[in-house]
Amino acid sequence: MFKKFLKNLSDKPEFMRRAMNFYSPLRGAGIHVHHISANFDEVEVHMPLTRRNKNIMGTHFGGSLYAMADPFFMLILMKRLGHQYHVWDQEANIRFVAPGTSLVKGVYQVDEQTLDEIKSKAATGEKVLHTFSTNITHADGSVVAQVSKVLYIRLKKQYRPNSN
């Protein structure tokens, strides 16, 4: 019963946002989940420049910039696809474009067309590798880093066609 209660809470974007803000790897770097949309298709994350995430040059530490991007495409897909799918990070790349000198933000989105494409490819039971990309920017929109993530998506065995 408690497990069902927690599952119902985790389906609520505001609860998930608050829970993510207590997640140690994000909190320790000063990363704040600012917004999760009602249908989990978009997550916006902010990180101010603080002593906790500043490097020796006085700008955002690269690992903290990557931590801003790490879990969010996976979280979106897990929520939008549901429990019938395995979703794993397969590969990641970050390209540092300019020093992060103030508040930075990342917006992670998965639109309906991309979701339908993934579902269609995964319907055969084979793995799907899909690349997602976004920019981490300053408040004025100037790019600090470009992030790409390759996610592995596959129907769980019991949901695959011809799985007995």
Q: Over 80: is that where the pLDDT of 111 sits?
A: yes
The pLDDT of residue 10: 76
**pLDDT tens by residue, 15-68:** 999 999 999 999 999 999 999 999 999 999 999 999 999 999 999 999 999 999
- Across the chain, mean pLDDT equals 93
Mean pLDDT confidence for 121-131: 96
Q: Are 49 and 105 in contact (CB under 8 A)?
A: no
The C-alpha atoms of residue 34 and residue 18 are separated, in whole angstroms, by: 9
The distance in angstroms from the start CA to the end CA of the chain is 30
pLDDT at 6: 47
List strand residue ranges (DSSP E) for 13-73, in order. 32-36, 42-47
Confidence band, pLDDT 50/70/90 cuts, at residue 164: low
pTM score: 0.91
Question: Can you tell me the distance from the alpha carbon of 126 to that of 81, in angstroms, rounded to the nearest whole number?
Answer: 15
pLDDT of residue 163: 61
Q: Calculate mean pLDDT across residues 2-22.
A: 75
pLDDT tens-digit profile of 75-108? 999 999 999 999 999 999 999 999 999 999 999 9
> Domain 2-159 belongs to what topology?
Thiol Ester Dehydrase; Chain A (3.10.129)
CA distance 139 to 102: 8
